[in-house]
Amino acid sequence: MTDGEFRARKIDTGKRKYWENEEIRSKKIYSGIKKYEENEIYRDNMIHAGIQKYQEDENYRDTLIDYGIHKYQEDEDYRKALIQSGIEKYKDDNEYREKLKQASIHKYEADKYANDDAHRIKIKQQTSVRRESLQEENKQISEVIRKFKDEVKKGPECVCACCLRLFFEKQVQICKKDSYDNSIFDSVTTNKYEHKCTDDCKTNCAFEGTCRTSLWICYTCHRKMLKGKIPADSFSNSLLLEDVPVELKRLNSIEQQLIAQNIPFMKIMALPKGGQKGVHGPVVCVPSDLKKVTSILPRSEDESLLLKVKLKRKLNYKGYDKYQFVRPNHLEQALLYLKDQNIWYKDVTINNEWINPIPELDDNQVVNE
C-alpha cells in the first residue's frame, strides 16, 4: 500500500467514525471549539481560511448567506444582536455611515419616481422635450447625413459573440454575461473574437482602443437570450465554419480543379458602384471525371515531385487556360483526406500501382558523366 492510499483510508475511517459515533463527534466538536478559543494562531488560520473560501467558493457563499437570512428570520436574539451591532457600526465607522447614507438617498431617489406624481410628470416632460428637439434636429438632412457618416465611419468591425456576424458599432452592444440565463450563455457564445492583451502583445497593442478589445452581442441574439432562448443564428447550432484543413488549404487553383467533383462556371462582373463583384446569369456546374487524376497522373516515390500541367478549355485547342505546377503528393494527401471526411469522395480509388521510381544513380556514375 502506498502512503497516499494509506492516508486516504485513514481519513475515510476517521470520517466514518465521526459521523457514526455520536460521542466521538461531540468530543471532536467540543475540542475544536476549545482549540479555537485558546489557540490564537489556530483561530486566525480558521478565520483566514473562512474568508478565502467565502470569496472563492460561490456555493459556500450562497449557503452561508442563505443560512444567515434564515437565522435572522428565526432567531430573535440573533436578530437583536445584529441590529445592535449595526447601530454601533453606524456610530463608529465613518465609511459605513456614509455608505448607508448614500444608499438611503439613492433609494429615496429611486422611489421618488414611483411615489411623487409631480416629479414623475416633470421627468416625463423633460424626456419628451429632449426627444422632440432631437426629432427637430433630424429634420435637417445635413445633420442626418453627418450622423450617419459618423456612425459608419469605422465600418463593420464588431463581431457578435453569438452569431459571429460582423456589425457596425451601432448594431451591437457590450455583451454582459449577467444579463442572461447562465445555463445557455456559455454554450451559445464565444469570446474567441475578444482580444485580451497577453505578454505577446507589444507595449502598443494593435488592438488597443479598437472594438476588438470588447465582447459584443447583436440585438437579435441579445433579445433571444433575454427570453432564455437559443438564438437561431448562434454558431453553436452547427453553423460554425471550420478552418480549412491544411491538406486542402495548400492546394493551388489548378490542383483544386484537378480534384474537384464539379467545376462551376459563372459570369462574374464588377458591379457599377462600390467595387463589389456580382454573379451574372446562371451558374453551371460541370461534373469532372476524377478517375483521370487518380489513375493517370504520374506519381513518384519522391514526395517533392512537381509536374507542369496545362489546363485547356478543349483538348484539341492549342492555347491553354491555366499553366501551373502540380504537386502529386499534395493531391494524394488531399484526396485521402476527402475520402475520409467527405461522403462524395468515399468511393474514390487511388491507383497505387502507377508509381514511377526515379532511378538511383550512385555517386561514381554521376562523377563519370
Q: Which residues of 296-320 are buried (b: 16+ CB within 10 A; e: fewer)?
A: ebebbeeeeeeeebeeeeeeeeeee
Distance CA 21, CA 12 (A): 14
Residues contacting DNA: total by CB under 7 A: 26
Per CB under 7 A, does 152 bind DNA? no
Instruction: Pick out residues in 90-109 that bind DNA (CB under 7 A).
Output: 106, 109
CA distance 299 to 306: 10
Stretch that binds DNA, among 56-64, 123-131, 202-210, 299-307 (CB under 7 A): 123-131
Q: Judged by CB under 7 A, which of 8, 87, 103, 123 binds DNA?
A: 123
User: Minimal distance in Å, beta carbon 133 to DNA?
Assistant: 8
Q: Tell me how far, at minimum, the Cβ of 355 lies from DNA, in Å.
A: 50
Give yes or no for residue 160 binding DNA (CB under 7 A).
Answer: no
> Does 148 contact DNA by CB under 7 A?
no
Within 13 Å and on the Cβ side, how many CA atoms surround 49? Answer: 6
Select from 215, 217, 218, 225 the one that contacts DNA (CB under 7 A).
218
For DNA, the closer CB: 226 or 296? 226
Q: Which of 236/300 has CB closer to DNA?
A: 236
Residue 118 makes contact with DNA by CB under 7 A = no
Please report how close the Cβ of residue 211 comes to DNA at its closest, in angstroms: 14
Identify which range of 25-33, 119-127, 333-341, 354-362 contacts DNA by CB under 7 A.
119-127
Task: Give per-residue burial for 97-112: e unless 16+ CB within 10 Å, then b.
Answer: eeeeeeeeeeeeeeee
Beta bridge partners of 284: 265
Q: Residue 69 burial (CB < 10 Å; 0-12/13-18/19+)?
A: exposed
The site map against DNA for 226-265 (x = CB under 7 A) is x-----xx--------------------------------
Shortest Cβ distance from residue 295 to DNA (Å)? 42
Cell of 57: 467558493
> Shortest gap between Cβ of 167 and DNA (angstroms)?
8
Least separation in angstroms between CB 100 and DNA: 16
**DSSP strands (E only) in the chain:** 158-159, 166-167, 172-174, 216-218, 262-270, 277-287, 307-311, 322-326
**Would you give the binding string for DNA spanning residues 176-215, x where CB under 7 A is met?**
x--x------------------------------------
12 or 150: whose CB is closer to DNA? 150
Angle between helices 76-92 and 94-115 (to 10 degrees): 110
- Give counts: helices (H), strands (E), the chain: 15, 8
3-class DSSP state for residue 76? helix
Give min distance, CB of 198 to DNA, in A.
Answer: 28
**Position among 82, 173, 309, 350 found at the interface with DNA (CB under 7 A):** 173
- Cell reading at 278: 456580382
Rounded Cα–Cα distance for residues 23 and 17 (Å): 10
Report the interface residues with DNA, using CB under 7 A: 106, 109-110, 113-114, 120, 122-124, 126-128, 130-131, 135, 171, 173, 176, 179, 218-220, 224, 226, 232-233
